[in-house]
Amino acid sequence: MKFFVDSADLDQIAALNDIGLVDGVTTNPSIIAKSGRDFKEVVAEICALVEGPVSAEVIAMDTDGMLAEGRELRKIADNICVKLPLTMEGLKACKIFSREGISTNVTLCFSANQALLAAKCGASFISPFIGRLDDITQDGIELIEDIRMIYDNYGYETEILAASIRNVNHIKDCALVGADVITSPPDVIRKMANHPLTDAGLAGFMKDWKKTGQTIL
Ligand code: G3P
């Protein structure tokens, strides 16, 4: 499973990247606003930091505008993935970019039918928002499961990029149902390493080791 970081915080991305846990990065207009940074500048820095795809989202609502913005964003770096909204205009732009071999991430997906359309339009990634579905008492993981089955039924190569991850169980459940990628806030990825029995076990080992009076180095 690939891990993308859903953030524009360079320090957080770099820290996880150093461990080898970053296969890509996703941003959206809200994340860029939160960073307080210039959009192109911060995305360029992220692209220089990580090898994998870095999603940068268009703002235009019409296909021509999306194409123009997407082409502009692609000038930033080769690993820019153009993020497009799941609208008919966005799907049209997706198909055109797909024919040109430009990587795309179709975002704001909340149904299996939307995901099917994105695959038919050659999206590189589809981003179902599981946390936001859970927020309205719909099952986000069930959506990932449905998309997995549909894509496998027809051999679509669009990668399922589970987004709107809110907790560690989301990541585990996405892995169980076969999402190709998760994009997660950095702190949720860090929390995956935590377990109280690990802490307690380590404390016990350290206490007993002290009794031996030995050193390794
Ligand atoms: O990748 C999309 C993601 O950032 C949305 O997350 O928590 O705003 O629903 P959230």
pTM of the model: 0.96
Per residue in 43-57, pLDDT (tens digit) is: 999 999 999 999 999
Per residue in 166-182, pLDDT (tens digit) is: 999 999 999 999 999 99
- pLDDT, average across residues 136-154: 98
Percentages of the chain per state (helix, strand, coil), in multiples of 5 = 55, 20, 30
Q: 55 forms bridges with which residues in the sheet?
A: 26, 81
- pLDDT, average across residues 141-155: 98
Instruction: Please report how many Cα atoms fall inside a 13 Å half-sphere around the Cα of residue 170, on the Cβ side.
Output: 27
The CB of 6 under 6 Å from ligand 1? The reply is yes
Per residue in 101-128, pLDDT (tens digit) is: 999 999 999 999 999 999 999 999 999 9
Ligand 1 centroid – CA 204 distance (Å): 39
The CB of 26 under 6 Å from ligand 1? The reply is yes
* pLDDT for position 100: 98
Q: Domain 2-212 maps to which CATH number in 3.20.20.70, 3.30.540.10, 3.30.200.20, 3.40.50.1980?
A: 3.20.20.70
* CB-count burial class (<10 Å; 0-12, 13-18, 19+) for 182: buried
Ligand 1 centroid – CA 181 distance (Å): 14
Of all protein residues, the one whose alpha carbon is nearest to atom 3 of ligand 1 is: 164
- pLDDT, average across residues 53-76: 98
The CB of 105 under 6 Å from ligand 1? The reply is no
Say if residues 115 and 128 touch (Cβ distance below 8 Å): yes
pLDDT more than 90, % of the chain: 100
